[in-house]
Structure formats: structure tokens, C-alpha cells
Amino acid sequence: MSVVLKGRSLLTLLDYSTEEIRYLLDLAQQVKTESTSNEMPQRFKGKTLALLFEKRSTRTRCAFETAFGEEGGHPVFLSTADIQLGVKESIEDTARVLGRMFSAIQFRGFKQETVEILAKYSGVPVYNGLTDQFHPTQALADIMTLETHCGSSKGKRLCFVGDGRNNVARSLMVICSKLGVHFSVITPPELNPDAALREKCAPLAATSGAQITVTADTAALAGADAVYTDVWTSMGEEDKQEERKRLLGPYQVNQALMDKTGRGDSIFLHCLPAVKGQEVTHDVIDGPSSRAWDQAENRKHTIKAVMLATLL
Ligand code: CP
Ligand code: NVA
């Protein structure tokens, strides 16, 4: 069965089948190979992309902007200081107008509802570049990086150590459930991923063969192919910093914690930006097991793949 994604939005990854995710990952690999050639195709020529940002970004903005621009597309960056988005104009109306002028829209911000409304009313593909709940384009780059190291992802073991209820952990749970990657969230009970998401993922994992576990015990790191962490306080939660330091101090990814995998070849992953000395030590993120920089580069290849698949 051939995969057709033209016209589709990417909102959570729950909305994509295993085959569709596989298609995007294979296309991203092809895009990565092409990126080293001197001839850059111009597949986005004549197309326009609105980049809406309520929260800051380095990787996501630069990945969308360079991937689209280098192939002849016209990206337009719009922060909340520039446009009406739920302020003096409803999100529905902004969506309707942007849909008349742009080929696609990327949104990064707070509420998942906002990106869903943009998709519903714009009539063009809308990409979730991070909300409080999900970070789907990040999860694609993460699995691409895991596959580069392990050769494949199905049956491999990925452990997320840190704030188990955040957007990155949640999107990893979704993609691992769909692809058959064994996934453990290692987090104190106060920061467990919410039960509703776990219930949505359970049947997906049953179909793919993924073992999904949530535990406070770092012994679950045994045998991990990859150890992943993210900041202890996500954007918009700055008032939680002290509480998170207290809860997550024992979960800092340092060499002693990496050693709990019991394997010399486990890799370290981080979506970045990192607070070195907090969720991860300098020696781990800047050491030989770290793939965080490849992961950052893979944001561009996976994001280009998503736009190619949904726009052409
Ligand atoms: N990983 C990630 O989304 O990075 P930015 O916040 O810099 O976009
Ligand atoms: N969980 C982090 C991810 C940053 C890419 C945040 O939302 O701030």
C-alpha cells in the first residue's frame, strides 16, 4: 500500500500510522544523503510557509526556515509581537487568513488546542513545532538518530530520564508505541506521564510489540540502547524550577547513571537546549556517547521530509 501524505497536518503523531511514520523516516534518510550533494533540488519553489512562534526556538525555527528556503520556498517568521493570534483576532480568523496566503503553517506555542484550531480552519498543512503537550517533529529526529546508531529501532530500548510528563517524553511514548521501540520513562511519581496518554498508547504498543514502562527506579536503565533526557523545567514552567531540582536531582544523567545501562555502547540523547550541570553533566553531553549534535542536525532532515511529503 503506497503512502500518500499530501495535504496532511502533523499535530501529535497519534494521527499518523506506523507505515506513515516509517515513510517519513525513510524519506528523511534520503534527504540527509541528498544534503551532501552539490545540486540542491528546488522542490519548494513558489511555496510559502508561515512560522508562528509564541515560545523561543533555535533548532525548530532554523530547521524549518533553512530546509524550506534552500529549496526555493519563502518562509515568513511571525512572533506574537508581530501578529494577532488570539489577541484582537480569534485564532480561527487568523487561520483562515493565513490559509489564503501560505502553502503551510508551523506553530510553536503553549496550547495544543491552538495548533488544532489552525489546522481545522486554515485549509493548509499545519505542523506542530512544540506545544505544552507534544513535540512530534522532535520525536522523528530522535528515532532517526537511534536508527543511525542501532541500524533499526524496532525492539531497541530507549529510556527517558527526567520530567516524564513533558512534551518530549509524551511524543517519544507515542512514536515508540507505534514503531515497536521499548520505552521506559524513569521519573519520580509526581512527574508521571498522564494516564490518558498511556491508555491511548497501550493498544498501539500491543500491536507493535513495544514494551512501555513508567517507573521511578533507575534500575530500568539496564540494557538501554539510548538514554534520553530533557530540561527539568520546560518553557512556561519557570515557576517550578526549585521543585524540579528537588524532585529530579537524583535523576541527573551523569556517568554513574549512564553506567547503569551495563553496556559500553549506550548512546546519550538530548533534544536541546541543555542546562549542563542540571539534567546532564558536561562530561556526558560533550563526551563520546553523546549523539545530541547529530540529533539536532536530524531535526532539519526530518522536518524537510515532513514538508516534502505533505506539500508536494
Ligand atoms: N529541540 C528543540 O525544539 O529546540 P528549539 O527549542 O531550539 O527549537
Ligand atoms: N521540554 C522542553 C523542550 C524544548 C525543546 C520545553 O518544552 O521547553
Q: How far is the CA of 236 from the centre of ligand 2 (A)?
A: 9
Contact assessment for residue 164 and residue 191, using Cβ atoms and an 8 Å cutoff: yes
Q: What pLDDT, on the 0 to 100 scale, is given for residue 136?
A: 98
- Ligand 2 binding site (Cβ under 6 Å of any ligand atom): 130, 166-168, 230-231, 234-235, 271
Residue 176 appears among annotated catalytic residues: no
Contact between residue 243 and residue 215 where contact means Cβ atoms under 8 Å apart: no
Cα distance between residue 248 and residue 246, in whole Å: 6
How many angstroms is it from 235 CA to the middle of ligand 2? Answer: 6
- How much of the chain, in percent, has pLDDT values that exceed 70? 100
Based on the residue annotation, tell me whether 271 is a catalytic residue of this protein. yes
45 C-beta neighbours (distance < 10 Å), count: 10
Cell 507515542, residue located: 174
Give the ligand whose atoms come closest to the C-alpha of residue 128: 1
CA trace torsion 262, 298, 307, 133 (10° rounding): 50
Residue range 168-174: mean pLDDT, rounded: 98
For the packed helices 59-69 and 136-150, what is the interaxial angle rounded to 10 degrees?
A: 80
pLDDT tens per residue across span 151-167: 999 999 999 999 999 99
Instruction: Give Cα 13 to chain centroid, integer Å.
Output: 10
Determine the distance separating the centroid of ligand 1 and the alpha carbon of 296, expressed in angstroms.
8
- 57 CB under 6 A from ligand 1? yes
Told to judge if 230 belongs to the known catalytic residues of this protein, a careful annotator would answer yes
pLDDT of residue 37: 86
* Mean of pLDDT values over 275-300: 98
Q: Which of 8, 59, 61, 135 does the annotation list as catalytic? A: 135
pLDDT tens readout for residues 245-261:
999 999 999 999 999 99
What pLDDT is attached to residue 242?
A: 98
- Check whether 180 has a pLDDT greater than 90: yes
User: What does the pLDDT average to over 16-21?
Assistant: 98
Task: Determine the residue type at 92.
Answer: E
Phi, psi of 184 (to 5 degrees): -115, 130
Residue owning the nearest CA to atom 3 of ligand 1: 60
**Where residue 1 falls among pLDDT bands split at 50, 70, 90?**
low
Using the structure block, give the residue that is written with the C-alpha cell 515508540: 176
Angstrom distance (rounded) from CA 120 to CA 295: 31
Active site residue 201: no
Give the pLDDT mean for 145-154: 98
User: Which pLDDT value is given to residue 84?
Assistant: 80
pLDDT of 35 strictly over 70: yes
- Give φ, ψ of 182 to 5 degrees: -70, 125
Pure H helices in the chain: 18-34, 59-69, 91-101, 112-122, 136-150, 167-179, 195-208, 241-248, 255-259, 282-285, 292-311
Q: Mean of the pLDDT values across residues 108-116?
A: 98
**CB-CB contact of 48 with 101 (8 Å):** yes
Judged by its nearest atom, the ligand closest to the C-alpha of residue 240 is 2
- pLDDT reported for residue 85: 84
276, pLDDT greater than 70 = yes
CA-based end-to-end distance of the chain: 19
Instruction: Quickly tell me which residue has 551495563 as its cell.
Output: 262
Domains assigned to the chain: 13-134+299-311 (3.40.50.1370), 139-295 (3.40.50.1370)
Report which bound ligand comes closest to the CA of 171: 2
Write down the pLDDT at residue 47: 98
The pLDDT of 64-84, averaged and rounded, is 95
- 205 pLDDT higher than 80: yes
Single pTM value for the model: 0.98
Q: Whose CA is nearest to atom 4 of ligand 1?
A: 59
